[in-house]
């Protein structure tokens, strides 16, 4: 489940550059029975199997680098993973990501290992592997030097508390749809102002909850007032190429 995503693109480049080292371990390594069993039936009955504490504790004890290791348990019951947490995790020296399966972990696992329990969203996946890859990708791309253009992570959606402005590329006219004329003007100041305004517009239209959590700068207040005057709630309008 890990080989494809870890061997491609940015995660691959981060490892090739020595900026991240990722190791995948099989919990069965830390079992002691012939069938290498990692799960057992739930106390109290009911459907499904539960991950046993012994192999998980032994795995973490073998892999931990003392206090510099942070144990993360992927679970739909965890705190919601977002850009701020990705940024915090990207500054940590060593993460151990625990992937659940079946009905999930015996509850003594996150408790006893003092794991940071993270959820990637309000839905249930079959296992923690995809959530672990989500956390890895979002986190590793923030490590300085991983992205070719350092500025791109800074302007990505959520990095500044807003959704990013829309992007356009050639051709200038496509099936009757143009490109905002300012982007072709060569006026960098006007472009930066337009982008900030569009980021505010997008965020207000699509994620007003994010906007409510940011403190708008003087320029933001001016741009928001302009959007109000333009009636952005109704969609607004702007000059485009034809
Ligand atoms: N019975 C669990 C519950 O209702 O909370 C769900 C178990 S789920 C089928 C199996 C494993 O997938 C979990 O232990 C966890 O590691 C992973 N998983 C599923 N959804 C997840 C999510 N939204 N975020 C993080 N991990 C998730």
Q: Is the pLDDT of residue 208 over 90?
A: yes
Ligand 1 centroid to 62 CA: how many Å? 24
Instruction: Tell me how far CA of residue 190 lies from CA of 31, 166, 186, 194, 221, in angstroms.
Output: 62, 15, 9, 6, 17
Asked if residue 126 has its Cβ within 6 Å of ligand 1, the reply is: yes
What separation in Å is there between the alpha carbon of 129 and the centre of ligand 1? 10
Q: Which two tokens stand for residue 41?
A: 């039936």
Counting ligand 1 atoms within 8 A of each CB, the residue from 79, 104, 118, 136 with the most, and so the one to mutate, is: 104
| Residue at which a domain ends, from 105, 140, 175 | 140
Determine the pLDDT at residue 150.
62
Q: Does some domain include residue 151?
A: no
Cβ(139) – ligand 1 distance below 6 Å: no
Range of the domain at 181: 158-230
CATH of the domain at 168: 1.10.1270.20
| Alpha carbons 162 and 53: distance in angstroms, whole number | 41
Question: Does residue 236 sit in helix, strand or coil?
Answer: coil
Is the residue at 41 inside a domain? Answer: yes
Q: Is 110 in the pocket of ligand 1 (CB under 6 A)?
A: no
Q: Is 70 exceeded by the pLDDT of residue 237?
A: no
**Catalytic (active-site) positions:** 76, 103, 141, 156
103 lines ligand 1 (CB under 6 A): yes
**Could you tell me the pTM of the whole model?**
0.94
Cβ contacts of 115 within 8 Å, gap of 6 or more: 71, 72, 73, 98, 109
Could you please report the per-residue DSSP string of 121-161?
SSS--S-SHHHHHHHHHHHHTTSTTSSSSHHHHHHSTTTTS
pLDDT digits (tens, 9 = 90+) for 69-95: 999 999 999 999 999 999 999 999 999
């Amino acid at each position: 489940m890990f080989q494809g995503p870890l061997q491609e693109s940015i995660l691959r480049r981060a490892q090739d550059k020595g900026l991240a080292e990722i190791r995948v371990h099989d919990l069965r390594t830390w079992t002691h029975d012939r069938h290498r069993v990692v799960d057992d039936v739930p106390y109290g009955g009911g459907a499904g199997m539960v991950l046993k504490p012994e192999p998980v504790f032994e795995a973490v004890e073998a892999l931990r680098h003392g206090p510099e290791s942070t144990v993360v348990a992927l679970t739909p019951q965890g705190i919601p993973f977002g850009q701020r947490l990705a940024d915090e995790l990207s500054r940590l020296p060593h993460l151990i990501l625990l992937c659940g399966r079946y009905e999930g972990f015996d509850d003594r696992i996150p408790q006893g290992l003092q794991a940071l329990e993270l959820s990637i969203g309000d839905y249930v996946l079959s296992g923690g592997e995809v959530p672990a890859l989500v956390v890895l990708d979002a986190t590793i791309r923030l490590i300085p030097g991983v992205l070719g253009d350092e500025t791109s992570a800074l302007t990505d959606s959520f990095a500044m508390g807003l959704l990013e402005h829309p992007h356009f590329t050639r051709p200038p006219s496509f099936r009757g749809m143009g490109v905002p004329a300012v982007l072709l003007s060569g006026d960098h100041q006007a472009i930066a102002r337009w982008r900030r305004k569009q980021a505010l517009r997008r965020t207000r239209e699509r994620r007003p909850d994010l906007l409510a959590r940011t403190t708008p700068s003087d320029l933001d207040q001016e741009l928001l007032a302009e959007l109000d005057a333009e009636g952005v709630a109704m969609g607004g309008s702007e000059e485009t190429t034809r």
